[in-house]
Structure 1
Amino acid sequence: MTPRRLTLCADDYAQSPAISQGILHLLQRGRLSATSVMTQSPHWPALAAPLREMEQQADIGLHFNLTHDFADGPQLIKPLSHWLLLSQLRCLSHTALRDSLLRQIDLFSQHLGRLPDFIDGHQHVHAFPQVRDALFDAIALRWTTNSKPYLRAPDRLGHPGDSKLKAAVLRQACRGFAAAAEQNGLRCNPWFAGLYALQPQAGFATLMQQWLQACPDGGLMMCHPGLPADDASDPIAPARALEYRHLGSQAFAEACQQAGVQLGRFQA
């Protein structure tokens, strides 16, 4: 039987050294096949070099950020509730969003020496109404060839994780994103998973087993691993440490094998 290919993407690279080191360790062991970068982080310039060594074996993308405050330079940072509400009301500034995207894309290119393989969003903001239009415009401005980045489509969520309510809110907030992206000639994942409460008691290992069983060929899954850290600025640090341990374990390798899933880079 041919293995089903899964792109397993670690979000939040460069948010902190502990998160980034955990992601690097898992990339080096082949336990991840993609990561997305928060380029506004003051840690990004120093963390670009080790990530560059992973370019042949993993996709490296931009984790577009509108909600995490790095307090370093010009940023368009507001709580998630702000973006959820105003995007549905169509009250956002297209120019400000496009310019924020361009700045974050340019910070990626400045330190990695090339454009991102893909773009996703911190808390999925890239897929909200109006934000997505700014995203399509930013891509048209920076990608001048036919080789465009692929985009994460959260509206193609295929498993609710441990919260049907959270899944319903995500699907509604991002409704129509994949269709709009494809109308603009951009590739998206056919299936998405990895959504859960991001708490240790949620049972990440059990959920991962369910996601692996449900994943079709070509699916995309997000995760949030990181080295154990006492970081008051990161409310999901305990869940990150648990994810890191599980993804690096023999149990995870066996779960992939039993499910007939092989980690790999995204293929349209």
Structure 2
Amino acid sequence: MPQPRILLVVTGDDFGYCPKRNQGIVDCFKAGGISSVSLLVNASAAKDAADLAKRHNIPIGLHANLSEGIPVCQSLRQDSTLVNERGFFHGKMGFRQALGRHQISMEQSSFFYVEVELELRDQIRLFRELTGHLPHHMDGHQHVHILQEVREVFAQVLSDHKIPYTRVPVEPGLHSCQCLPAHLKRFYAQVEKDALDSIPVFRRCGLRCVGMRISFGWSMTPLDHPQVKKLQLRVCVLCFTIFLSSYMIHSLNSYIDSFLGGITIYPFSALLILLVFCDIVNEWVFLPFTF
């Protein structure tokens, strides 16, 4: 019986943010490191990003943005609850705080619900103008699409445009990572809860949810940042430990060869190396530096 195929989709977010980020994402795609991108249509280099995607045949989706920059919808750039007094979105935490203080009401009958719907539809319109087609997928910049107050209208807009895929950013174990400060643990725990609560809403609208998101926070971190120095130390420890483990396993295998009269148990050695490697990578490198 044929085994089901498992498709790994690695998406580069924030395409269009700036020319340097665009080029870095394209380089990753050409090197095989990512398989698709998500475009910020209200960012300064969105047109350049769309042209690059066409030139290199990069599968491209929409990174819906309600938290950074200015709205695409002209009528929302002034006198809108989605923007501050300078006409900019409230920001990653500011948007969430405004929802928490009920400065932004997302009741379906409210004007504010309509504002979000207008902005999402205008971002899809602009995406189509830039790329010549609808998004292959659509997710939310800084995970705004899974917020309790946003997920319903987000799902409805995708359903109306027949955009089949969205992202559910579940990052297992992130909120229990020991290197994170308490406020970030609370934040990521809430993100995971919001993501899981969004699944029934998205499925009810006929959307297919793409799980798990794993992000690495050092991609835009200065080289002299304390986290990078910690990473360098732990990578050194990792390399040394792998070398030491390999030496010990090789010695153990040689001992077993002698003890059993030349019968080499390579699967046993390989299994031990794999277990040691996975345990070290999980505890020392990946989890402490996942943000």
Task: Report the TM-score, using the length of structure 1 for normalisation.
Answer: 0.64
- Give the one of 172, 176, 200 matched to 1:158: 172
Greater helix fraction, Structure 1 or Structure 2: 2
Aligned to 1:18: 20
Q: How does 1:148-227 map to 2 (within 5 A)?
A: 148-154=163-169, 156-160=170-174, 163=180, 164-194=185-215, 196=217, 199=221, 201-202=226-227
1:97 alignment partner, SS class? helix
2-structure distance, mates of 1:81, 1:68: 10
Change (3 A) 1:46 1:195: closer
Question: What one-letter code is carried by the residue in structure 1 that aligns with 2:158?
Answer: I
For the residues of structure 2 that align with 1:99 and 1:158, how far apart are their CA atoms? 33
The amino acid of 1:120's aligned partner reads D
Structure 2 CA distance for aligned equivalents of residues 130 and 109 of structure 1: 26
Show CA shifts across 1:90-112 (max 9, x none): 82321000110011111111010
Aligned equivalent of 1:63: 63
Structure 2 residue 105 is matched with structure 1 residue 91: yes
In 2: Cα distance, 1:178 partner to 1:72 partner: 27
Contact 2:64 2:141 in 1 (8 A): yes
Q: Displacement, 1:133? A: 1.4
Q: What is the DSSP-based 3-state SS (H/G/I as helix, E as strand, rest coil) of the residue aligned with 2:208?
A: coil
Overall identity of the aligned pairs, in % = 23
The structure with higher relative contact order (CA 8 Å, sep 6+) is 1
Q: Deviations over 1:131-163 (max 9, x none)?
A: 1112122123323xxxx3311112x32241653
1:123-138 map, 5 Å: 123-138=142-157
Deviation at 1:71, TM superposition (A): 8.0
8 Å Cα contact 2:13/2:63 also seen in 1: yes
The aligned residue for residue 139 of structure 2 is 120
Counterpart for residue 46 of structure 1: 48
Letter in 2 for 1:178: I
| Residue type of the alignment partner of 2:207 | L
Q: SS at 2:24's partner residue? A: helix
Q: Which amino acid aligns with 1:59?
A: P
Which residue number corresponds to residue 251 of structure 2? none
Q: Secondary structure of the equivalent of 1:120? A: strand
Gapped regions of structure 2 (runs ≥ 5): 83-88, 107-111, 236-276, 282-291
Structure 1 residues 71 and 4: CA distance shift in structure 2, 3 A: closer
CA shift digits 1:116-142 (9 cap, x unpaired): 111111110011122111212212332
Partners of 1:59 and 1:87 lie apart in 2 by 33
Greater Cα radius of gyration, structure 1 or 2: 2
Secondary structure of 1:170 counterpart: helix
Deviations 1:203-226 (A, max 9, x none): 57979xxxxxxxxxxxxxxxxxxx
Which of 113, 118, 129 pairs up with 1:110? 129
Counterpart for residue 241 of structure 2: none
- Letter paired with 1:153: V
In structure 2, the residue corresponding to 1:62 is in which secondary structure?
Answer: strand
Indicate conservation of the 8 Å contact 1:167/1:195, yes or no. Answer: no
Change (3 A) 1:4 1:141: closer
Letter matched to residue 213 of structure 2: F
Report if aligned partners of 1:126, 1:132 keep a CA contact under 8 Å in 2.
yes
Q: Secondary structure of the equivalent of 2:69?
A: coil
Q: Pick the structure with more strand per residue.
A: 1
